[in-house]
Amino acid sequence: QKYRHLWVQCENCYELNYKRLFKSKMNICEQCGYHLKMSSSDRIELLIDPGTWYPMDEDMVSLDPIEFEKPYKDRIDFYQKKTGLTEAVQTGIGQLNGIPIAVGVMDFKFMGGSMGSVVGEKITRLIEYATHQFLPLIIVCASGGARMQEGSLSLLQMTKISSALYDYQSNKKLFYISILTSPTTGGVTASFGMLGDIII
């Protein structure tokens, strides 16, 4: 605990990895080769060409539509402070080897990467932007599924995103890569997680 700023402990073999070199090794344990979880910001840094990342819809925040017993707003505030993110997904435009792309990266550390109305809206807007600009699309999935604190509103995001992807893929014939990371479950798997032209 005292040396957390210096070392990262492997979840598999419990050996220590030097933190400064850990990111350059893509969060892979030196001792056993286990792949540890990565934040959305780290993924963007590894995936996108330096200096080309332009985030979208950063100011969107969830409301409390069903007024949960333990205030949902308090939990959102807690995770915003803990992760430095406003929601469980970062969306934006960047370049990959000089090719302009639309990118969405989910973050499991923000409420288990759960998909609520804001996550659904951000991903839908990203897909619509990619459709209008004729950009290839990459979404990195990391989610526990639909967000229970938003009830049926979170389930509606599945159809909203899927219909936007239908227009993107079937009507416009554009290219979508879905990257499934650990864990990807529930409503994300049942919607855009499994709809990629290529699923990694």
Q: What are the DSSP calls for 72-135, one per residue?
A: HHHHHHHHHHHHS-SSSEEEEEEEETTEEEEEEEE-TTTGGG-B-HHHHHHHHHHHHHHHHHT-
177 close to 124: Cβ distance less than 8 angstroms: no
User: How, if at all, do strands 198-199 and 176-184 pair?
Assistant: parallel
pLDDT value of position 1: 65
Structural domain count, the chain:
2
Do 22 and 63 share a structural domain? no
The model's pTM is 0.94
Do 140 and 42 share a structural domain? yes
The structure tokens 């973050």 sit at 107
Do 192 and 109 share a structural domain? yes
- Could you list the residue range(s) of the whole structural domain that residue 100 is in? 38-199
Query: d(Cα 121, Cα 99) in Å, to the nearest integer?
Result: 25
The structure tokens 């200096």 sit at 51
Do 163 and 69 share a structural domain? yes
Containing 182, the helix (H) or strand (E) segment is strand 176-184
pLDDT value of position 5: 87
User: How, if at all, do strands 54-56 and 89-96 pair?
Assistant: antiparallel
Do 57 and 75 share a structural domain? yes
Q: How many CA atoms lie within 13 A of 75 on its CB side?
A: 19
Do 50 and 145 share a structural domain? yes
Do 20 and 104 share a structural domain? no
Instruction: Show the low-confidence residues of the chain (pLDDT under 70).
Output: 1
Q: Please report, for the domain that includes residue 67, its CATH number.
A: 3.90.226.10
Query: d(Cα 154, Cα 118) in Å, to the nearest integer?
Result: 9
